[in-house]
Structures are given as structure tokens and as C-alpha cells.
Amino acid sequence: MATSSSHFSFLSKPEETEAEALFHLFSAMVAYSLTLSSSFTQPNPSIHGSKPFNNLSSLNFSFPLKLNYQVQVLQRYQTLRIAATSVSISNPPLGIDPRPDDLVSSILSKVTQTDRGVSLTKEQHQEVAQVADELQRYCVDEPVNCPLIFGEWDVVYCSNPTSPGGGYRSAFGRLFFKTKEMIQTVEAPDTIRNRVSFSVFGFLDGEVSLKGKLKALDKQWIQVIFEPPELKVGALDFQYGGESEVKLKITYIDDKVRLGKGSRGSLFVFQRRR
């Protein structure tokens, strides 16, 4: 059917775009609704004689076929929109920064059941370091003065196995001493207690503990001076050695984890004990 100025054409063209099809569908629905409205308001419809809708009777023949095609186009268009929305949710656009909670979950998943980092490869240590660098961007302005620092923390990772625990955590020491727990307790106002519990040859329990005083050097760095360590193995309990000193930079802290870097660059991950 040819298109004229006196009536609408509802036959589709092969090259018709979806946008044009939607426009034609909208036009058809308007015209069809006007036709229904006329049939209810006028006992003897005279719409065929009206100027704007001359020869609208042709709608009875071409409208159902055209409407079916337009509905299919509309359904296909809506399907594409839904699919695009699903992709955008499951695969966020590049360039969007991850949330701190996601980074915390990521770093914990990388260090869990690794003997505090001992079993990780060089590449895996680098992955942990990358996540730690990302978390550092979200650290509070003055982590040393943050009240979240207080409490009991598990040492769940260290990039240098011998940094926490000293010789007990060296390659040779791990042959005889199996680490069970490594806990750091920070008590207000300035007390730190470190404790490493282990078993000797798998049957004799023991632990090494240190008590120290915390001093804030600036907004991020702390200094701890420890008393001589105390060793307990079975019935034995004695102190040995002398005082020791460590410096640690707090690079991130929240209610779940605390990250720190030693003065020699060792990365620590502490997880709060529940």
C-alpha cells in the first residue's frame, strides 16, 4: 500500500531500523486507540469521513500484520536492553576502583592457609603486595591515633617469614617448631604483647612472649621497645636475651584487618580476633 498524506501506511520496509519500527508502532497504537474510542462514543462511527484520518478503514486489513511485526521488534529491543543491563552489572566497566571491603576479602583469601605466607610463591607475594598497595589508598589520616588499633590480632601474613618469631620461624626453626598461633595484643594506652605458640617435634607445647611499650613517632609510624623475651616449654619458664626495638608503619586499618610495613620493608597482615 502506498503512503499518502490522507492515511498511514503500516507495511514495513526491509531496511527499516528498530527506532523507525518503534515509532510506527507507537503511531499505530494511537490510531487504533482513537478508532476504539470512536466506536464507544458514537453510535454510528463517522471517523472515515474525518479529515485527519481519511481512509482509516484500511487499518482493519493491514494493522494486525504490522502490529505483530512491531511487537516482535519491541520484544527484541527489550531483550537487548535487559541483556546489556545484565552485562553491565556482572562486569563493571574498567576504571572503577574496587571497594575497600572487596580488597580486604581479596588479601585475606590470598594469605589464608599459607602458614602466614611461607608457602606462597614469589608471584603470589607480589599479588598480596599489590592488594596492600591498593588498600593503602583508603587508610585513615592518622592510623596511629585510630581506636581500632586496640584489641587482639592474629598475624596471618608476613612477606619475610623470620620477621615475626625470629629464629623460631626460620627455615631451620620450622623443622622443630610448628607454629600454632601468632598473636599481637595492643592494650590502651601504650602496651603491646606478642605471643608465638608452637609445638616442639609435634608433642611438646611451648610459647615465646614479648611485652613492649608503644610510642607514636608520627601519624603512621610507631616504635616499640620490647623487654627480653620469655620462653615457656613444658615446665620450663625463663627469660633470655636483651631488649629489642622495632618500627612499624600502619598502612591500613579497619574493624577486620590491619596492615603494616616494617622499617626494612616487610609487609604484615593482621586479622582481628573475634
pLDDT for 206-253, tens place per residue?
A: 999 999 999 999 999 999 999 999 999 988 999 999 999 999 999 999
In this prediction the pTM is 0.63
H or E element that contains 38: helix 18-41
Check if the beta carbon of residue 8 is closer than 8 Å to that of residue 27.
yes
Of 5 and 199, the structure prediction assigns the larger pLDDT to 199
How much is the pLDDT for 214? 96
Confidence of residue 95 (pLDDT cuts 50, 70, 90): low
Confidence of residue 163 (pLDDT cuts 50, 70, 90): confident
Check if the beta carbon of residue 267 is closer than 8 Å to that of residue 127.
no
Mean pLDDT of the chain: 75
Domain boundaries, the chain: 100-272
The CATH fold assigned to 100-272 is: Lipocalin (2.40.128)
H or E element that contains 216: strand 204-216
Model pLDDT for residues 11-48, shown as the tens digit of each residue: 333 444 444 544 444 444 444 444 434 433 344 444 34
Of 163 and 52, the structure prediction assigns the larger pLDDT to 163
